[in-house]
Structure 1
Amino acid sequence: MDNQNPQTPAKKSNLIYFLIVVVLALLGTNAYLYFQKNKSDEKLVYQINDDNKTLVKTQTTLKASLDSLTNQLDSANSGKHRVSQELQAKDQELKAKITQLRKALASGNLTASELRSAQEDIKQLRYFVTKYTADIEELKQQNASLTTERDTLKTNLATVNQKATTLQQQNQELNTKVQTAAAIKTSSVAITAYKIKNSGKEVDVTRASTAKKIKVNFTVTTNELATKGLHDIYLRIIDPTGNLVTSGDSGNFTINGQDLQYTYKSSIDFKNDGSGYTIDWVSPAAFQKGTYSVLLYADGYQMGKSSFNLR
């Protein structure tokens, strides 16, 4: 008994030291776990903040992409080109998809997964918009080519029409020249007034009071272009006061496209031999003192003229 008592305090002392070490070890372990937990929580906070920033950045990028696609569509549709119904339907489809994605992004409640899905949609949308833009550009080029061809055809047609008009004018001028050249002309015209005696004999006079008729004597110039045969001759007799003398034999005829009234109409047999001709005209009224003018027309042109004076 006496030998065991001295060892009891030593055993107790060792036990106390052991317990102290254990407590210190536990305290150290707790401290280590505490600090590690704080670091983990801080890292988690940073990760959450970074994820939020990434989501916001992604949404901003997607909105910018949609703006770019919208501008691309607007640019493709600018101008007055006509597109097919198929392209019009594709344009409406693309715009509807863009509107749908805008609404989704505007809500601000998209998850990371939904944003990734939106990114894929925009990627496909960009492909379709690019193809649509290329189709529109090709259509513009085709329209430009067709416009050029149309303008070229118009220019060519205008040139052809101008040439045709010029040829027609030249033909008309040539025909006019031919007709003018083919018309018979007088080389001389002489007019004499006559009175008629009771015996029927004609006597030339110079007094208006005794004159009853006139004889228009003219010679027709030879003309190889003129048609041989009968030609109508129109007389226009202008009295001293400047008025056309008319009678029951008067009528209308056309000269150079102008409608005129004649005093008397007759005809001659043109033989292209320089023959002379005479046309008698009896006045339906008494002659006036003064100078009368006599104009002869044939084949649509004036063939000669002369005058005579009565006292």
Structure 2
Amino acid sequence: MEPQKINKGDRNKIYFLIIVITALIGTNAYLFFKDRQQSQRFVTVSTEKDKLRLEVEKIEVELDKVNALNLDLNEKLIGEQKLAREKIEELKVALEKNQITQGELDKANAQINDLKTFVKNYNDQIIQLQKDNIFLKNSRDSLQSTLRDISNKASNLENENANLSAKVKTASVLKLQDAEIIAFRTKSSGKRVEVTKSSTAEKLSVRFTIVPNQLAEKGHHNIYLRVFDPAGNLLADESNRFEADGQEMQYSHSIFIDYNNDNSTFVIDWTNPKPFIKGIYTVILYSGGNTMGKAQVQLR
């Protein structure tokens, strides 16, 4: 049997079918590889977004660390941090978009690099601020310590001066070197006559000298007398008052003397407002608020 011959028309149909099948296979292959590339590109973009999100979070953590230090930031640093946080929020919003182009990713990446540089410089400023604060604190503490030392020294010096002044004041008081008392009466001729009987006595005369003292102030000194009778009664006017030995007292009589530290002898006469009685009369002398000394005389 002879083989069946294929006519020209059928052959053309076969060629056409082969071409169509080949085209379909090529199209499917193209679509497959294109879809695969898009899938890979989506995975790459998604991974890049996650990477950028992580970088943004790291930057935000660095800024939070600064706030945790509780430093007193100046207006410039506060403003810079505010701008950085605004940029971070913008990047977060951009990275949350479902669709983002490679160009947008590149832009975000560049902005994040800028933020990294900013945060590094920002942290350098914070570190310097901490150093400055430590230096200022140490300087302040040192100054306070120095001021305390100066204050303590001044206080000690003041106390020493007060003690010295008190010692000088104590050392400069007038003290009796010796003193004697005599009783006398005045004759009609005006002559004074010493007596020893209370019945004839009219006045007491106190004669005294003062211990030489280079520290004592020269010039006028007010001398106060307090006279006590044999019964211990103070013979003084109620209105005559002065201060001595830290308390207010009454005095019997007072005079001014001119002290020149020259061993001069001073005399004070005192008239008894009452008749004298038998016994020992005591006279205590005061000057400058201090006791000078005392003397006594016995009348028969």
Q: If the length of structure 2 is used for normalisation, what is the TM-score?
A: 0.72
Q: What is aligned with 2:266?
A: 277
Counterparts of residues 1-311 of structure 1 (less than 5 Å): 10=2, 13-15=4-6, 23=14, 30=21, 38=28, 40-188=30-178, 203=195, 215-235=205-225, 247=237, 250-253=240-243, 258=246, 260-263=248-251, 264-282=253-271, 295-305=284-294
Return the alpha-carbon distance in structure 1 between the equivalents of residues 234 and 69 of structure 2: 70
Pair 1:100–1:273, CA change in 2 (3 A): same
Pair 1:206–1:285, CA change in 2 (3 A): closer
Identity of aligned residues (%): 30
Cα deviation 1:67-100 (Å, max 9, x = unaligned):
2222222322444543333222222211221222
Return the alpha-carbon distance in structure 1 between the equivalents of residues 186 and 260 of structure 2: 35
Return the alpha-carbon distance in structure 1 between the equivalents of residues 127 and 75 of structure 2: 16
Pair 1:189–1:121, CA change in 2 (3 A): same
Residue 124 (structure 1) shift: 0.8
Q: CA RMSD in A?
A: 4.6
- Unpaired segments ≥5 residues, structure 1: 1-8
Pair 1:238–1:97, CA change in 2 (3 A): farther
Residue 278 (structure 1) shift: 3.8
Pair 1:153–1:230, CA change in 2 (3 A): same
Pair 1:290–1:91, CA change in 2 (3 A): farther
Return the alpha-carbon distance in structure 2 between the equivalents of residues 294 and 237 of structure 1: 5
Residue 205 (structure 1) shift: 6.0
Q: Which moved more, 1:107-116 or 1:138-147?
A: 107-116
Return the alpha-carbon distance in structure 2 between the equivalents of residues 143 and 105 of structure 1: 39
Q: Which moved more, 1:67-76 or 1:101-110?
A: 101-110
Secondary structure of the equivalent of 2:138? helix
Return the alpha-carbon distance in structure 1 between the equivalents of residues 26 and 97 of structure 2: 38
Residue 27 (structure 1) shift: 5.5
Q: What is aligned with 1:3?
A: none
Q: Which moved more, 1:113-122 or 1:232-241?
A: 232-241
Letter of the structure 2 residue corresponding to residue 100 of structure 1: E
Residue 29 (structure 1) shift: 8.3
Letter of the structure 2 residue corresponding to residue 101 of structure 1: L
Give the length in aligned residue pairs: 296
Kept in 2: contact 1:250–1:265 (CA 8 A)? no
Q: Which moved more, 1:230-239 or 1:128-137?
A: 230-239
Residue 154 (structure 1) shift: 2.7
